[in-house]
Amino acid sequence: MSAPTVLITLGRLPKALDVARSFASLGCKVVVAEPFARHLTGVSRSVAKSVVVRPPSAGKRAYLEDLARVVQEEAVDIVIPISEETMHVSFLRDLVPETVTIFTPPPGTLLPLYDKYGFTRLCAAYGVRTPETHRLGTPEAAGLAARNKVVVKPIHSCGGRGVRILPAGSAVPEEDVPCVVQRFVDGEIYSSCAIAHEGRIVGNIIYRGRMFQGSVAILFERVEEARIADWITRFVAASGHTGFISFDLILDAEGEVWGIECNPRTTSGLHFFENRSIAAAVLEGLPAVPRAETRLQQFYSVLTVLSGVMFRRGYFSVMQQLLGTRDVTWSWRDPMPALSMTWTTWPIIRLAIDKGVPFSEVATLDVGWFEGETPSV
């Protein structure tokens, strides 16, 4: 049997580059659908073709029609969503033949995971711990904020957009988008990235951010934490999930694990898998094994932090991290993505400059999920 043709539905992020390289290493033809004409993964030797599509922010139906056209024209066998576009791609099933695999659950299963209120209801049903959470605008939310320190966040936020922490006794704010009010839990924050088939985890990475740009980690460290792994295993088994699935969790001082939110897609933890094993895990359910490195960085993002502390306190510490940590994009066999990154990511850099916010907060604005609200861009 010949290797399948794979469609990756976003190319601008390093995670997409890992996926493209992995499938290409198994002999697959890799096609990328991306709203930007130039993007990080598009210059990789692993990519056979890159196709410009309209973004979801220009219309959900138009985006899906463009993806369906690419599936037909390129005879795609499997569609791999990468980031926030995952929620849109889930609906692609209605427009492509049943023989095409969409590596994410259908909308009725996927969207409650991504909804920050729906996720807490699932946690309760699956018997795993999550902080008390209520919809903003309800008496329960107001009562929670009166008694406790709370976090207010949009139900579909990404990259820390719109997240606020309020001290106990605060009046809950009014927001233009649906939000939740969640009890603040003090403890150590962990993140994860797993690959699952019908509730069976075939690879799981647990990691912690060690350097941040805004609220998004740009230098991270893989860790072993059995209590976190057990929480994730229980949730995924109960959900029967197939696809990428990631979590943000907190381990408190008493050793209790609290699930904060679910991202039913890839996260930066994907970089910690041995590259070739990613595609094998997706296609055949084989184990996705960790790579040797336990610390990785996004070089250019860390370089930006370095420039911001030039010759000030912390400068030499950042420099040491920069020089001593492997970049997630660099490969001697495929050097162009790393070497041309400033050029390929300029559309996002310019948007970040125009809005005066970190790169990470605008990187997926045009592909983020919106439901009953105005698109971000």
- Cα separation, 189 vs 246, whole angstroms: 13
- Give the range among 25-34, 61-70, 357-366 with minimum mean pLDDT: 357-366
Whole-number Å distance between alpha carbons of 147 and 135 = 16
pLDDT tens column, 58-84 = 999 999 999 999 999 999 999 999 999
Structural domains of the chain, count:
2
Predicted TM-score of the model (pTM): 0.91
For 221-237, write each residue's pLDDT tens digit. Answer: 999 999 999 999 999 99
295 close to 210: Cβ distance less than 8 angstroms:
yes
pLDDT of residue 213: 65
Is 273 within a domain? yes
- Residue 373: pLDDT over 90: no
Lowest mean pLDDT: which of 132-146, 249-263, 290-304?
A: 290-304
Residue type, 201: I
Query: Among 134-138, 277-281, 341-345, whose mean pLDDT is lowest?
Result: 341-345
Do residues 194 and 325 both lie within one domain? Answer: yes
Asked if 193 and 324 sit in the same domain, the reply is yes
**CA–CA–CA angle 124, 129, 167 (5° rounding):** 110
Between CA 135 and CA 177 the distance in angstroms is: 11
**pLDDT category of residue 362 using cuts at 50, 70 and 90:** confident
- Could you tell me if residue 227 is inside a domain? yes
Give pLDDT, residue 163.
87
211 and 259, same domain (yes or no)? yes
Query: Which two tokens mark 1?
Result: 């049997």
What is the domain extent for residue 294? 187-330
Asked if the model's pLDDT at residue 306 lies above 50, the reply is no
Tens digit of each residue's pLDDT (9 = 90 or more) over 327-352 = 899 899 999 999 998 899 888 888 87
Tell me: do 293 and 316 sit in the same domain. Answer: yes
Residue of 184, 349, 169 lying closest to 258 (CA atoms):
184
Distance CA 284, CA 99 (A): 16
CA 329 to chain centre: 16
* Confidence at residue 21, expressed as pLDDT on a 0 to 100 scale: 98
Q: What is the mean pLDDT of the chain?
A: 90
| 137 and 240 fall within a common domain | no
The pLDDT assigned to 370 comes to 82
Low-confidence winner among 45-54, 91-100, 305-314 (lowest mean pLDDT): 305-314
42 domain residue, yes or no: no
Residue 72 belongs to some domain of the structure: no
DSSP symbols for 228-271 = HHHHHHHHHHHHT--EEEEEEEEEETTS-EEEEEEESS--GGGG
What 8-state DSSP symbol labels residue 290?
A: B
Distance between CA atoms of 63 and 35, rounded to whole angstroms?
9
Q: Can you give the pLDDT at residue 375?
A: 52
Looking up residue 311, the CATH number of its domain turns out to be 3.30.470.20
My answer on whether 168 and 276 are in the same domain is no
